[in-house]
Chain A
């Protein structure tokens, strides 16, 4: 069995060994199943992607609460809303692009407007798949956070996914979860992370630079912080997994205590973490030197995640260079 992380394949690698692992909560599929065992309101809807959305465990153990809708995301979202109106807590699954942009009007009218307990679980965030531009979600955070009543969450990785699923279940309204499918053997050495809607978490404390990141860019930011120490810069890193509601208090307070603030996201800088941070800082009266690392208003192409990160500016080195350019202004 390969130890190669399957995230670079967009989730299509064989993930069967999940079933035989000891119970842990480092994968979305296990976390959701554990919640559903305890909460009979939880139902699971799929659009043909049980393996790459980690819902096969739910399918096999709780078949009466699992609904395979086929390749029809619009109908799935409407049906999830119908179930939610009958008392269910409906988790609907697809890739990030298809559970947001493809079904935007259905989500707006049937989920967000009525504030229903529908949880939209998306996989393949940003530029993490060789499947090409059709499968790359670089505007999903922007779209979903523009909807009233919607909560938007992107966990940093397997270490935070269980806490995020718990928060989504507990939250009475709609939630968009933006996640990367777990590696076949998730890294057990990273401590499990907590999560609270509306709160960011400082992972590392510094004095000169604050890096605000979400998703896989949290790890990249931690790596960048270590390298920036070599340049004599002391760096704070915050995991801003709660993208809406955003932790504006934390963002503003970090901006007041650091000369440089840089955001890092696996998403377009238009409408995502960079935009929401800029809005928060301007409205909060904080004026640090400010930069945004992320996809710069372009469509990408299918390639390995490493190649895409290099080409589209999503590596630790890109964060380092952005900070240094602001430092030497």
Chain B
């Protein structure tokens, strides 16, 4: 069910809670997907506490909205979100990347039906989303399909096959969010492959597109509303997110795999406690 009774302030508080989980989960490993997790916390809070229709009691509910994390590696925030939403046990976060645990670095469907596809081999998630959107539309389902791609992932050719196809089929039950954090393994995305203007590229492929501040909860919720209201086209939200958002001394540090000391983790948690109070 959609939990659209949350106020913006409550959604922001949820995002802060997710950030605390991210810091704790990555700090235990000393290195990990910290900066992306902090950056995307607002998107995940909006999606799972305002937008997605899901069932805590029946994860495989046929009418659930589908969510695909195509990059698959931003799992600290993903698992934290599912745990906060009650879709996986909170103790799962203690098992993050532990040998034998289903909570791997790259999310796999070993977690359960809410990992809708095993991605991580970049560029594949949007194609699966297109297939789901086509199948759900054919069956007359009201369920919608959401897919989050990384901005670096746009360099994969298959994304553009899928984009062409989604536009051509007019899949208005499909919403893609590009986590535009300007970060990939090699460094700043623009120093690897120039990708702007992203929205205009997709518009040329038959999509509706808008660019927002991906750390502005009001902007995120408004964009998701616009996506749901859009008819005849798939909807793209290019969400500019700030690496390390919410922790001042981490903000803007572009690090695909960030190291964090126990002392910095404590400092970060203190900042986030301050934000929550």
Q: Which residues of A are in contact with B by a Cβ distance under 8 Å?
A: 43, 64-65, 67, 69-70, 72, 74-88, 90, 105-106, 109-110, 113-114
A83 near B164: Cβ-Cβ < 8 Å: no
- Total inter-chain residue pairs, C-beta < 8 Å: 95
Residue contact B124 to A106, C-beta cutoff 8 Å: yes
Query: B128 within 8 Å of A by Cβ?
Result: yes
Q: Using a CB-CB cutoff of 8 Å, which residues 114-134 of chain B contact chain A? A: 116-121, 123-124, 126-134
List residues of chain B with CB under 8 Å of any chain A CB.
62, 109, 116-121, 123-124, 126-136, 138-139, 157-158, 161-162, 164-165, 168
A187 to B6, CA, bound (A): 68
B158 and chain A: residue at smallest CB distance: A74
| A110-B134 in contact (CB<8A) | no
Known A-B contacts A74-B158, A75-B158, A86-B136; the reply to A81 vs B121 at CB < 8 A is no
- Tell me if B127 and A70 are in contact (CB < 8 A): no
The distance in angstroms between the C-alpha atoms of A109 and B120, with both chains bound, is 9
Once the chains are docked, how many angstroms separate the CA of A42 from the CA of B200? 37
With beta carbons under 8 angstroms apart, the residue of B116, B121, B131, B161 that contacts A83 is: B131
**Which residues of A have CB within 8 Å of B109?**
114
Please report the C-alpha to C-alpha distance between residue A69 and residue B121 in the assembled complex, in whole angstroms.
Answer: 21
Inter-chain CA distance A261–B127, complex, in Å, is 45
Contact A72–B131 (Cβ < 8 Å): no
Name the A residues within 8 Å of B158 (CB-CB).
74-75, 78, 106
> Which listed residue (A70, A87, A105) contacts B135, Cβ 8 A?
A87
Given contacts A75-B161, A76-B127, A106-B158, 13 further A-B contacts (CB under 8 A): A64-B138, A75-B165, A78-B131, A79-B165, A80-B131, A81-B128, A82-B134, A83-B131, A83-B134, A87-B135, A109-B121, A109-B124, A110-B128
Beta-carbon contact of B164 and A106 below 8 Å: no
The reply to whether B161 and A72 form a contact with Cβ atoms under 8 Å apart is: yes
A83 adjacent to B127 (CB under 8 Å): no
* B residues less than 8 Å from A75 (CB atoms): 127, 130, 158, 161-162, 165
In the bound complex, what is the Cα–Cα distance between A75 and B165 (angstroms)?
8
Contact between chains at A86 and B132 (CB < 8 Å) = yes
Given known A-B contacts A65-B138, A85-B117, A114-B117, A74 and B132 have beta carbons under 8 A apart: no
Is A79 touching B136 in the complex (CB atoms < 8 A)? no
Can you spell out 8 A-B residue pairs with CB atoms less than 8 angstroms apart?
A: A81-B117, A82-B129, A82-B134, A83-B131, A105-B121, A106-B127, A110-B127, A113-B118
Complex Cα–Cα for A72 and B157 (A): 10
Name which of B139, B158, B164 has the most chain A CB atoms within 10 A of its CB: B158
Q: Hey, which chain B residues are within 8 Å of A78, CB to CB?
A: 124, 126-128, 130-131, 158, 162
User: B121 and A77: CB pair below 8 A?
Assistant: no
Whether the pair B164, A70 counts as a contact (CB closer than 8 A) is yes
- Return A232 CB to nearest CB of chain B, in Å: 56
Nearest CB of chain A from residue B126's CB, rounded to whole Å: 8
User: Residue of A at shortest CB range from B120?
Assistant: A109
Q: Look across to chain B and name the residue whose beta carbon is closest to the beta carbon of A88.
A: B135
Q: Shortest beta-carbon distance, B143 to chain A, in Å?
A: 9
- B118: A residues at CB distance < 8 A: 109-110, 113-114
A residues in contact with B134, CB < 8 Å: 67, 79, 82-83
**Bound-complex Cα distance A92 to B41 (A):** 37
> Chain A contacts of B128 at CB under 8 A?
78-79, 81-82, 85, 110
**A82 near B135: Cβ-Cβ < 8 Å:** yes
Q: How far is the CA of A82 from the CA of B131 in the complex (A)?
A: 4
Cα of A110 to Cα of B120 in the assembled complex, Å? 11
Which of chain A's residues have a CB closer than 8 A to the CB of B139? Answer: 86-87
Complex Cα spacing A67 to B171, Å = 13
Closest A residue to B168 by beta carbon equals: A70
Pick from A64, A81, A109: contact of B131, CB under 8 Å = A81
Query: In the complex, what's the smallest C-beta–C-beta distance from B25 to chain A, in angstroms?
Result: 25
Question: How far is it, in angstroms, between the C-alpha of A238 and the C-alpha of B129 when the chains are bound?
Answer: 43
Contacts of A67 in B (CB 8 A): 134
Query: Given A81-B117, A82-B128, A109-B124 in contact, is the A72-B164 Cβ separation under 8 Å?
Result: yes
Complex CA–CA separation, A69 to B134 (angstroms): 11
Q: Which residues of chain A come closer than 8 Å to B162, judged between CB atoms?
A: 75, 78-79
Q: How far is the CB of A87 from chain B (nearest CB, A)?
A: 7
Residue of A nearest to B139 (CB): A86
Contacts of A90 in B (CB 8 A): 131
Return the chain A residue nearest B136 by Cβ.
A86
- The 10 A-B pairs of least Cβ separation, nearest first, read A82-B131, A78-B127, A79-B131, A86-B135, A75-B161, A72-B161, A82-B132, A82-B128, A83-B135, A83-B131
